[in-house]
Amino acid sequence: MEKVVTGNYAVSWGARLSRAQVIAAYPITPQTSIIELLASFCADGELDARFIKVESEHSAMAACIGASAAGARAFTATSGQGLLLMHELVHWAAGARLPIVMGTVNRAVSPGWSVWTEQNDTLSQRDTGWLQYYCEANQEVLDTVIQAYKVAERILLPVMVVLDAFVLSHTSEAVDIPDQDKVDGFLPPYRPELKLDVNDPHAFGPIVTPEHYMEMRYKMQKAMEEAVSVAQEVDEEFGEVFGRRHGLVEPYRLEGAEVALVTSGTVTSTSREVIDELREQGVKVGLLKVRLFRPFPAVAVRQALAGIPKVAVIDRNISFGHGGIFAQEVKSALYNVDGVHRPPIFGFVAGLGGRDVTPEPIKEVISTTLANDAPPEEILWIGVKK
Amino acid sequence: MEEAKVIIFKSEAEMPTMAASLANTLYNKTGSWRYMRPLYVDKTPPCNDACPAGEDIVGYLGLIRQGRYREGWEFIMQENPFPGVCGRVCPHPCESQCNRTELGEAIAIHVQERFLADWAYERGLRDLKGLKGIPSDPLDPSVPSVAIIGSGPAGLSCAYQLVRKGYSVTVFEAQDKPGGMMRLIPEYRLPREILDHEIAAIESLGVEIRTGVQLGRNLSLDDLKDYQAIFLAVGQSVSRKLGVLGEDAAGVLHGIEFLRRLDQGEKPSLGSRVAVIGGGNTAIDAARSARRLGAEVSILYRRSRHEMPAIYEEIEEALEEGVQIEYLVAPVEVLTEKGKVSGLKCTRMELGEPDESGRRRPIPVVGSEYIIEVDTVIPALGQVADLSFLGKDIKAERERIVIEDSGATTRLPVFAGGDVATGYGTVTHAVGSGKRVALAIDRLLRGETLEGFPPLDRNVHTVPRDMDPTVVGFEDLNLAYFEEEPRPRQARAPAEERVRDFTEVNRGFDEEVAVTEALRCFSCGTCNQCDNCLIFCPDVAVLRNGDERPYVFDYDYCKGCGICFAECPRRAISFEEEIKWKK
């Protein structure tokens, strides 16, 4: 069934098709319509889930943690400040190895007060132990929610499915809504080995002394490492069942490129248009979309960028005191590996606080990269009024 | 039970994925961390507290909610044998105290009581022998016998409770039919078949009612000396006089006399213009009855609407039926022509300082007299008791017999109750008063003390439910669980139809409305098994296997966090400091 839905509704449909059993959420722009639709699915009996209204995002995640520990498939959604308020329990969910999925709509962090898109909210959760997928289009959003549960439940780590505020969250596109039977076949019910059971009580999240704590962290990292191949397998399996794949990264017209543009989120879809236009003019430029950010698919990135003379990364985020975060990740993926070509990395920061990233600034990124052998500055700001 | 054990893992591969104990944690009795503990303690709902008859209102609303109507009716019948009467005529002080008043309107308790009574009536349930606490064996002729003077609600309530306890009871009634003042309530409020049904049910238990026997006329207290106890429940039968010139003229007909003649099937000729004097329920009853006989009726009341003691709904219904009410007016002279009423001279009043009743005292406005033309004047200023039969050793004060909290007069084994002793003037208060005396007589005849009865303005119970006397206030409820919901109205015919005859005005609730209305009840202080404590307890320390109560706390694991106490919508859980080291 094809429906015209917003990016937010694509998240809701993804959670519905995944048969989420407990949904606990607190409203926040631009996420709210995700849980509104889910609430109406629950109210109308179209989704057999317990919808828990809570008093904050912190409580939303707490409820999801309890539900997931008890063996339920749990879902929540949030944005910006809400995600930051939730932060303590974002760590907890991962440390407790609970396969929760969260729809996360990027919203610039305040102050100044903003509801528009920017990645600093999710990227500041980078080290919590959550997987993060950054989506480009509504179909991908829906598909990624379903994939996310499958990956999460295999490696026992939670997943954020990230989409840009308004540019995607409130933009409608035609989306194929797969049949429930098909999704059920792809995603079987969650059956954890150890779960909260009042008839056989165990202590969950108890004190772990220095004797054992480090091993638990080691196992989380090992799970993250495994997640790369699991995500790859799940995406392939998804492709077999539904006829669509999204990849962990996606190279686009990189053949013979002099410049590889690296993007995430909705900047990618605009960049595709720019690449097509420039290729037509004979400019040798291609694109690498990074979909999976955590775990960072370093091998796939290295392979995609192999032999390309220059790389330009567009970051809709900034790590103050260092620079764009995707640029850092790409750099570190190329370092310390024998025999890997290390091209100059041009780190551009653009579109903060929801400023539009139209074809013009993207062309500026490419022309700046083509014009310089090395980045003239560590951070190349696009469109700052100086 | 597993013991605590320490496991040191040799490698990460041996360790669980999650930070969770491999052994179960039942050995760890976390209840030992507690210093506060919750307790299931039902508390007194404000309606129950306010019911003069001592009914467990929340108890039977809960039974209506579950469709258990017969049990609901029996629940009331334990305390009050007149639910069909009280459900229609009680001024329902319970509703004034109802916590729902703060969030929507009070629960329509009196209509719910009527619903249960009608449900039983429609099924012909009058055999009360099956009721809990009622002896099924025939009465032993050697049991002590009790004489009750007056078959009004106080007398019959007392008779009912005593006969259930196995006593032999004889009731003496001055009038031709039993029922006392209940007989004077007009039929449009209280159909006679309802009253007769409830009286007959009491008689069916073995209570003997001798009518036409009046203390002081053809019966004296000395005649009753063979009875082990005597209950004086003669009510107040003498009408207060207007105290103005001309009030003995033809055409002046006192309210209760008018109502008694109606009850006896007469249709007194009133002429076309009637003035009723007074602001109580008798005044309203007389006025609405006079409307039904075709007269134009004005009620003259010397204070304002705010002070009017009649039941609010009755005033509203009277106005709908075209009764005029003139406030701040008092009669100063009944005008006559040839010994018959021709008019009424009135004066305007104004309100001064509060009097001993707490209401502002009405004061005549000088020079404001005026005359209205009337054919009949019906004074309805209340009644006093005729105490001429009392000997000197039974003390009376201010026209009432003086009683202790037990109902005992100054001459045991003579007790008194109902209006002759309390003067409350409602059926429900009389029912409560009669029950109190029944409990006292039972104690006296068992040789027990009469001390310890609650004060006369408090209610008593024959089958008390186990509850804390603390009355639950609105602020004690958890309002997160309640929304404002409207109170349903009883169906009633349009006023212009009603005034054509004495057909009952209010039609009660049907089953669906009754259940919906029962669901609106907060169930203050009374566990109704909402499961909130069970759901919220983070330690799974609420168990659903109580015999006497629906839940029990597992104090082995209850840490005393108090969430159950906070989330109980109705304060059926208490939370107290547990001073273990004092044990």
What dotted CATH number matches B242-382? 3.50.50.60
The pTM score is 0.77
Is B133-237+385-445 CATH 2.40.10.10?
A: no
pLDDT of residue B138: 46
pLDDT of residue B131: 63
Can you tell me the ipTM of this complex?
0.81
Q: Is B21 on the interface with A (CB under 8 A)?
A: yes
Structure tokens at B171: 């009731």
- Cβ of B25 within 8 Å of Cβ of A201? The answer is yes
Q: How many CB pairs under 8 A join A and B?
A: 53
Q: Is A112 on the interface with B (CB under 8 A)?
A: no
For chain B, which residues make up each domain, given as ranges? 52-125+480-518, 133-237+385-445, 242-382
C-alpha dist (Å) from residue A382 to A106, A316, A324, A350: 20, 10, 12, 5
pLDDT of residue B213: 95
Strands (E), B355-479: 360-364, 370-373, 376-379, 383-384, 396-397, 400-401, 414-416, 468-471
What dotted CATH number matches A2-242? 3.40.50.970
Structure tokens at B283: 């005044």
Q: Is A198 on the interface with B (CB under 8 A)?
A: yes
pLDDT of residue A185: 98
pLDDT of residue A338: 83
Q: Walk along chain B (583 residues) in steps of 10 and give the mean pLDDT of each run.
A: 70 89 86 93 96 96 96 93 96 96 95 96 75 54 86 97 91 96 96 95 93 92 93 94 92 95 94 95 96 96 92 94 96 93 95 86 93 96 91 90 96 95 94 96 92 93 90 96 94 93 95 96 95 93 81 94 96 89 53
Q: Is B324 exposed, middle or buried (0-12, 13-18, 19+ CB in 10 A)?
A: middle
pLDDT of residue A131: 98
Chain B contacts in chain A segment 136-195 (CB below 8 A): 156, 194
Is there a shared CATH topology between the A2-242 domain and the A249-381 domain? Answer: yes
pLDDT of residue A225: 98
Structure tokens at B71: 């049990």
- Cβ of B16 within 8 Å of Cβ of A205? The answer is no
Q: Which of A50, A55, A216 to mutate to test the interface with B (most CBs of B within 10 A)?
A: A216
Rounded to whole angstroms, the Cα distance separating B265 from B262 reads 5
- Residues 6 or more apart whose Cβ sits within 8 Å of residue B484: B103, B104
Structure tokens at A144: 């990624």
- How far does A69 lie from chain B, in Å, by closest CA? 10
- Residues 6 or more apart whose Cβ sits within 8 Å of residue B47: B57, B58, B94, B95, B97, B98, B107, B109, B524
Q: Out of B15, B24, B26, whose CB is closest to A212?
A: B15
Compute the mean pLDDT over every residue in chain A, rounded to the nearest whole number: 97
pLDDT of residue A305: 96
- Please answer whether residues A348 and A260 qualify as being in contact, where contact means their C-beta atoms are separated by less than 8 angstroms: no
B19 interaction partners in chain A (CB closer than 8 Å): 95-96, 204-206, 208, 216
Q: Is A111 on the interface with B (CB under 8 A)?
A: no
- Cβ of A205 within 8 Å of Cβ of B19? The answer is yes
- Cβ of A203 within 8 Å of Cβ of B540? The answer is no
For chain A, which residues make up each domain, given as ranges? 2-242, 249-381
Query: Which CATH class, in words, describes the domain spanning A249-381?
Result: alpha beta
Residues of chain A short of pLDDT 50, as ranges, are: none
Amino acid letter, A241? V
- Cβ of A206 within 8 Å of Cβ of B26? The answer is no
- Cβ of A198 within 8 Å of Cβ of B25? The answer is no
Least CA distance to A218: which residue of chain B?
Answer: B12
pLDDT of residue B580: 64
Q: Which of B2, B11, B18 to mutate to test the interface with A (most CBs of A within 10 A)?
A: B18
Q: Return the DSSP state at B530.
A: -
Tell me which residue of B230, B206, B208, B228 sits closest to B219, measured CA to CA.
B230
Q: Out of A194, A200, A215, whose CB is closest to B15?
A: A215
Q: What is the pLDDT of residues B464-488, one digit of tens each?
A: 888 999 999 999 999 999 999 999 9
Is there a shared CATH topology between the B133-237+385-445 domain and the B242-382 domain? Answer: yes
A218 interaction partners in chain B (CB closer than 8 Å): 12
